[in-house]
Structure 1
């Protein structure tokens, strides 16, 4: 992959890792810890990553052990690459376990340095909230999870905090909002029942602000859309890939895993590159050209 242009923040966007404390198979079919390790190995050569985001359903069982496993693997990857790390809860997460290991979700700062947090106690009824600054971008995490439910909602308190953050001094290069439930139409009947219930409130909060992109998960498939004129990018699932072309009122997913590489330029331009993990037994290469061959093709194609 090409390196990011000067002044661009490159984000590795992961979502729906669904790790378990005892490594039980997700939906009885997927070792999500192994799937996460394959994704991280696949993107290990992606240059210039400055921020790693995990946009919810970090855990399947909400156990401290599952969050520790994510911290070890994703935090280790981010630290080695000198990248910040931010995570947000999803509908499968439990706030108590999340906070115990990941605090407010802003785990690593610029350069992969650990961020300090107070040990202030918050009951599980209080949404997780955090913000940090990475390469001149304000990164704001918004907890859309609803304890005991699968659908998403942004509480009035969270909306007030988001508005207050956006009303403050503008970040040099704008704001990135990270949440789990996308403010976009759902691909299946099940996901529609579990969608974000108040996207209009989020639209009102970010309209006219310096928000450059909203990063989300939940749908286990890459989607791109917009809200109040702001790009919304949904990452592929690490745990599996939703069959979005199937019958609407049925639900199926393939054993597949991926990630999203998002580049945010200084001028606010945003572009995304989905990355899929090939399966050695089912995804043979169509071709593979070495650098010398590529150079010859370029020369032959561009003329003198």
Structure 2
């Protein structure tokens, strides 16, 4: 891959790593720790990465051990490449375990330097939130998870955090990272588990210096916009959602990928999907018929 132009922030955008504390296979089929290691090794020769982002569902089980794995695996990769490392909770994450290891999600700062945090106790009802500065860009993380649910929502405290963070422009604009993207869902199940109030996000973003919103959750690469701001959804590390399948069913294929996102000093933006070559790619990893998908939607969607 080409070296980024001077003044460009190159972001390695990962999502949905679904790591487990005991090494159990995701959905009984995918070793997500091995997939993450293989993907990072594949991306080792990509030059000029300044920021690594994981946009949620870092863990499958919410265990401190799973967060230690991501801190060690992705953190070491970012340190070696002189890159900052930022992550945010998703619907499978548990805020207590996340905070215990990753604190507010801003793990490494510019140049891969560890960030110093004041350890504070927060009730799990309080969204995880943070911001840091990387190459003149303000990186703001917003927690869209709802404890015990699969759908996403921007609570008033989360919205207020975002409003306050974006109140004044930064040198080269801002990047917002969240899990549930403000884009239409590809399947009925994901529609039940989508972000419930994207219009509130749009109201906050409108007229600000935000250059891009980075999200995950859909386990497939999507691109769109909200309030005139580009939205990029990364492929899943754990698997690849079959978006061409029947809408009322849910099928995931074996597949691991990431986005390489380049954000130029003038605000220009482009992204390159990268897929990990693997011999079992595109084998079926999970299939839910319409009845099973509807049961999960009823259990974890809004009441």
TM beyond 0.5: yes
Q: CA deviation at 1:189?
A: 0.4
Q: Secondary structure at the match of 1:177?
A: strand
What whole-Å deviation, never above 9, does each CA across 1:86-145 have from its counterpart, x for those lacking one?
Answer: 000000000000000000000000000000000111010000000000000000000000
For 2:281 and 2:70, locate their aligned partners in 1 and report how far apart those are by CA, in whole Å. Answer: 28
Give the Cα–Cα distance (whole angstroms) in 1 for the partners of residues 207 and 280 of structure 2: 49
Q: TM-score, normalised by structure 2?
A: 0.92
Distance (whole Å) between structure 2 residues aligned to residue 277 and residue 200 of structure 1: 35
Q: Which residue does the alignment assign to 2:10? A: 10
Q: Aligned with 2:261: secondary structure?
A: strand
- Structure 1 residue 72 corresponds to structure 2 residue 68: no
Matched, 1:216 2:215: yes
**1: CA distance between counterparts of 2:18 and 2:32?**
6
1:51-108, Cα deviation, whole Å (9 max, x unpaired): 0000000000000000000011000000000000000000000000000000000000
1:28-52 deviation digits (Å, cap 9, x = unpaired): 0000000101110111100000000
Deviation sequence 1:142-194 (CA, Å, 0-9, x none)? 000000000000011111111111113x1110000000000000000000000
Q: Distance in 1 between matches of 2:184 and 2:71?
A: 31
How far the C-alpha of 1:282 sits from its partner, in A, is: 6.6
| Structure 2 equivalent of residue 202 of structure 1 | 201
Matches within 5 A, 1:235-254: 235-254=234-253
Matched, 1:228 2:227: yes
Matched residue of 2:138: which SS? strand
Structure 2: which 5+ residue stretches go unaligned?
Answer: 283-303
Q: How does 1:128-143 map to 2 (within 5 A)?
A: 128-143=128-143
SS in 2 for 1:167: coil
Change (3 A) 1:153 1:282: closer
1:24 aligned to 2:18? no
Pick closer, same or farther for the CA change 1:128–1:282 going to 2, 3 Å.
Answer: closer
Counterparts of 2:39 and 2:21, CA distance in 1: 19
Aligned to 1:148: 148
| Matching of residues 1-304 of structure 1 within 5 Å | 1-168=1-168, 170-280=169-279
* Runs of 4+, deviation exceeding 2 Å: 280-283
Q: CA deviation at 1:281?
A: 6.4
Q: Aligned to 1:3, what secondary structure does the other structure show? A: coil
Question: If you compute each CA radius of gyration, which structure gives the higher value, 1 or 2?
Answer: 1
Asked if the contact 2:241–2:252 (Cα under 8 Å) also holds between the matched residues in 1, the reply is yes
Q: SS at the partner of 1:13?
A: strand
CA deviation vs aligned residue, 1:200-242 (integer Å, no higher than 9, x gap): 0000000010000000000000000000000000000000000
Within 2, Cα distance between the matches of 1:161 and 1:97? 22
Equivalent pairs, count:
282
